[in-house]
Amino acid sequence: MKSYYYFERASLLAIFLLSSVYSFAQETDWIQLEFGNKKNNTESTVSLSGLVKDLNFDLPLIGATVEVVDKAIGTVTNENGTFKLELPTGQHQLAISYIGYNNMRVNLLIYENAFTILNLSGSAVELEQVTIKEQSQRDNIESVISGVERLDRRSLDTKPKLLGEVDVLRSIQTLSGVTSVGDGASGFNVRGGNADENLILQDGALIFNPSHTLGFFSLFHPDLINTVNLYKGDQPANYGGRLSSVLEVNLREGDMQNYKANVGLGLISSRLTLEGPVIKDKASLIIGGRGSYLDWLLNRVDDIDVRNSSAVFFDFTGKFSYRITDKTKLTITGFTSGDEFRFADQVNFEYQTNTLSGSLNQLISDKFNVRLGVSTGTYNSSLFDIDGNDISEFSNDIGYLRGELKALYQMSEKQKISFGVEGNSYTVNPGTISPTTEESTVIPDQLDEERAFAMSPFLQYDIDVTEKLSLSAGLRYTDYAINGPATVATYEENTPRSVTSFTGNITFEDGETIKKYSAFEPRFSARYILTESSSVKAGFNQTFQYLNQISNTASATPVDLWKLSDFHIQPQKSTNYFAGFFKNFDDNSVSSSIQLFYRSQDRIIEYKDFANLLLNDNLERELVDGRGRSFGAEFNYSMTSKRNFIQFNYTYSKSQRLVEESPTQESINNGTWFNSNYDKPHSLFVTYTYKTSKYGKLAANFTYSTGRPTTAPISNFRVDNLQNIPVFSDRNQFRIPDFHRLDVSYTVGPVRNKKDTFSTEFVFSIYNLYARKNAFSVFFEQRVARSISAVRVATLGTIFPAVTLNFSFGS
């Protein structure tokens, strides 16, 4: 205990030396609000709803934090800039904050239900860390949408800063119902779905691979994040095209008044953020970049394999915001990133993401808002064969253009409607191979490009039927067409697609429609408030997916190819049911929930045994139609006090697949249900954060999940002139060892200097404290004079400490 004390003191001393004398200097606007009076009051609890706006420009502020300081509860404003809080009658103090604006403090006297408009003025003061509690303690009771997880900068701040920074992907993997295949996996899995079933948006731009460096870092710059929403149950009707979830990352705007800089220096990577006004109070720019520099470290290692390895990434994000008039705002976000990973002469791949998105918000009136969003982007990946005579590059890429026009109309305090249309144009290059040396024996080849267009009008209607019952209903219709030029193979009817059943090709001209699919996607959810601190919610929705990641490896990899639904491959379909009971205790300082879900999926893409996926002109011959089902129960508990934050998430779930025999396909596992690659029945996540002092924060994570399924050799035979042919079990019959890991981090700071122009923060983290060798991948290897054996690859399968210093400049 004593050594811990000295450690904290020493850390503080180091920071104070960097930042001179520390103190808080916080500009705060104070106002007084009164609603009703004590004499007429009959209720013990009332609701306060409101709209948070920019004082000068009348624009709603989305994601602003509204906290009831004395009750340690809070919420964030929704997409209309509105919020709603349930409060005991009497006197309270509200704190309203938004990045780049002055904090507002409200002395509130409330005895009746009320609505208010709160106008924030521009500022440059960093948010005061009033409390380390999660934002939406009350939201879990109030929100109509079930299965939505909201994270903002403050709630992300409660997570351990592993490898020196808070990471969006690692943070959402701590939520119930969200898993990953293991350490080092790309992407994440929601309620038993594939990684490609998540719609990932950064400021409206599609992200196809959210991971850097095998998933140890996410693509999203932590200093630029404003809010993160994960819709794992219900999805608002304006989102579509993916079966499982929507991950919406909203970046913050640059400061409109002052220039600022943030620097994070780490062992593996560093980051820089600069922001400031372009035109004071009208336009701002924020830019951020990150880069890793593991290579120059690897070059100093004796082992030749490590010396010939590489793991580098960079990303660069910029966001320009312009308040054109007091009712019109324009934002433009650009993003580029690149990754290279190579391990000796065994594995080498690269991938890049580029996006550009813009949105124009027009406030027609206090109740009517229109948003036009346009985005475009590309994702391309390359897998290199770097050994032998076949030295070559296999690449595939996807590009898109997306436009969305959305209108929001607040019909009354209890009703709102949103509607609009979204259009998506996709271009996919499913594969190109080219030799990379003159000596290579590889013959260049390229598969035909695929093009498709989807148009989706949508309508969403939300109503508070009574004070306790709220309904949310949405409808989305998608009209999808894949277009030529293309050559499509045809096959005999009622026979499996194969060389033998091939009957000929149909040629489609440029722009000619090859196949059209259309579908309605209904969404519905309801919430009923049982008591002041408890509610039940239920709903269902139907989703379709037209863009598929083709991969039959256990884990999605950055080089998996993308494939559009086409003449043979129909869109995948999912019907999702969910229900939940939400209960808070102790003035919302403790929140808990039990959520149940059931998903039924049709036309799920499954793979024949030994499917050949790379550079295959007739990919449809390797695929089979399957059905899927996932069900589970998610238990959440979180407790917040002044110094402590505890979060406990446990999920029991099953995720299974069925491929039955039919005239057109063979069965898998004799047509019986089998576990999907992502079936992890038990999943537990525990976080504990302890504020050791005004500046010190100790955090620990423990995570456990059942080992994922695998197909393993069960016997060995010889046939003809061949020896040692392994016999594999039914698909996914066995499991790899369970996954568990403990991480800790200690953060000191941020400590500001006297003039509040400079602050520093020191983060020390230990990843995998007890050096568990969790398997990222288990594969099977033929050994000389022995039968086949299972080999485990564990990335970061040992204790991994990291130190990062974060600096912030600017007032």
Partner 1 sequence: MNKLVFILIGFFASIFFLCCVDEIDLNIDTDKQFVVIDGFISDRLDEYRVRVSTSAVIGLGNDNIFDNISGASVRVIDENGLAVNFQELEMEPGNYTGVMEVDPSLEYEVEVVMPDGEIIRSVPARALNSPDIDSLTFEVVTVEQINSAGNTVESDFIDIFTNTSVTDSEKPFLRWRVSGEYEFKEVFPGALDQLRCYVTNNLDLNNIEIFSTDDLNGNVLTDQFVIRTAVDDRFNTIYCFHVDQFGISEQEYDYWTNVQKLVDLEGSLFDPPPGELKNNLFSETNPDNIVLGYFSVSTVSEKRLFIGPQQIGYTVGTECRSFRFTTPRCSDCTTILGSTREKPPYWPI
CA distance 551 to 605: 10
Name which of 246 and 668 has its Cβ closer to partner 1. Answer: 668
CA distance 116 to 47: 11
* Dihedral angle computed from the Cα positions of residues 23, 29, 34 and 35, in that order, rounded to the nearest 10 degrees: -110
Bridge partner list, 471: 463, 526
Q: Using only the alpha carbons of the chain, give its radius of gyration.
A: 27
Name which of 243 and 311 has its Cβ closer to partner 1. Answer: 311
Quickly list DSSP for 532-572. Answer: TTEEEEEEEEEEEE-EEEE--SSS--TTPEEEE--SSSPPE
Question: 33-71: string of b/e by CB count within 10 Å (b at 16+)?
Answer: bebbeeeeeeeeebbbebbbbbeebbbbbbbbbbbbeeb
SS3 263: strand
- Give yes or no for residue 727 binding partner 1 (CB under 8 A): yes
- Give yes or no for residue 366 binding partner 1 (CB under 8 A): no
Q: Per CB under 8 A, which of residues 313..352 are in contact with partner 1?
A: 343, 346-347
- Give yes or no for residue 721 binding partner 1 (CB under 8 A): yes
CA 361, 364, 365, 370 dihedral sign is negative
**Minimum separation from the CB atom of position 798 to partner 1 (A):** 5
Q: Which residue blocks in 119-199 are alpha helix, DSSP H?
A: 139-142, 153-157, 168-172
**Which of 715, 754, 755, 809 lies at the binding interface for partner 1 (CB under 8 A)?**
715
Question: What is the contact mask toward partner 1 in residues 16 to 45, using x (rule: CB under 8 A)?
Answer: ------------------------------
The residue range among 42-50, 224-232, 237-245, 735-743 that interacts with partner 1, by the rule CB under 8 A, is 735-743
Q: Per CB under 8 A, which of residues 640..699 are in contact with partner 1?
A: 666
Name which of 73 and 214 has its Cβ closer to partner 1. Answer: 214
**Minimum separation from the CB atom of position 147 to partner 1 (A):** 30
Name which of 123 and 795 has its Cβ closer to partner 1. Answer: 795
Name which of 411 and 506 has its Cβ closer to partner 1. Answer: 506
The encoded tokens of residue 774 equal: 């969790």
Bridge partner list, 106: 31, 94
Question: 13-30: string of b/e by CB count within 10 Å (b at 16+)?
Answer: eebbebbeebeeeeeebe
Q: Per CB under 8 A, which of residues 749..808 are in contact with partner 1?
A: 773, 775-782, 785-798, 800-801
Name which of 477 and 728 has its Cβ closer to partner 1. Answer: 728
Question: What is the contact mask toward partner 1 in residues 266 to 285, using x (rule: CB under 8 A)?
Answer: -x------------------
Single-letter amino acid, residue 111: Y
Name which of 101 and 800 has its Cβ closer to partner 1. Answer: 800
Q: Per CB under 8 A, which of residues 435..464 are in contact with partner 1?
A: none
**Which of 40, 365, 610, 663 lies at the binding interface for partner 1 (CB under 8 A)?**
610
- Give yes or no for residue 294 binding partner 1 (CB under 8 A): yes
CA 250, 253, 254, 255 dihedral sign is negative
Question: What is the contact mask toward partner 1 in residues 487 to 506, using x (rule: CB under 8 A)?
Answer: -----------xxx-x----
**Which of 10, 21, 117, 297 lies at the binding interface for partner 1 (CB under 8 A)?**
297
Name which of 437 and 553 has its Cβ closer to partner 1. Answer: 553
Name which of 272 and 383 has its Cβ closer to partner 1. Answer: 383
Name which of 495 and 692 has its Cβ closer to partner 1. Answer: 495
Question: 474-504: string of b/e by CB count within 10 Å (b at 16+)?
Answer: bbbbbebbbbbebebbebeeeebbeeebeee
- Give yes or no for residue 306 binding partner 1 (CB under 8 A): yes
Single-letter amino acid, residue 229: N
Q: Per CB under 8 A, which of residues 180..199 are in contact with partner 1?
A: none
**Minimum separation from the CB atom of position 337 to partner 1 (A):** 20
Q: Is 295 left (phi over 0), alpha (psi -120 to 50) or beta?
A: alpha
Per-residue H/E/C for 721-785: CEEEEEEECCCCCEECCCEEEEEEEEEEEEEEECCCCEEEEEEEEEECCCCCCCCCEEEEECCCC
Residues near 142 by beta carbon (within 8 Å), at least 6 away in sequence: 75, 84, 86, 527, 529, 535
**Minimum separation from the CB atom of position 605 to partner 1 (A):** 14
- Give yes or no for residue 731 binding partner 1 (CB under 8 A): yes
DSSP secondary structure code for residue 6 in this structure: H
> 105 with 72: CB under 8 angstroms?
no
Place of tokens 């409206």: 204
**Which of 611, 639, 646, 742 lies at the binding interface for partner 1 (CB under 8 A)?**
611
Question: What is the contact mask toward partner 1 in residues 370 to 389, using x (rule: CB under 8 A)?
Answer: -------------x------
**Minimum separation from the CB atom of position 186 to partner 1 (A):** 12
The residue range among 138-146, 448-456, 563-571, 708-716 that interacts with partner 1, by the rule CB under 8 A, is 708-716
**Which of 115, 717, 770, 809 lies at the binding interface for partner 1 (CB under 8 A)?**
717
**Minimum separation from the CB atom of position 715 to partner 1 (A):** 4
Count of residues that bind partner 1 according to CB under 8 A: 82
> 557 with 382: CB under 8 angstroms?
no
- Give yes or no for residue 2 binding partner 1 (CB under 8 A): no
Q: Per CB under 8 A, which of residues 537..566 are in contact with partner 1?
A: 552-554, 557, 559
**Which of 259, 481, 713, 740 lies at the binding interface for partner 1 (CB under 8 A)?**
713
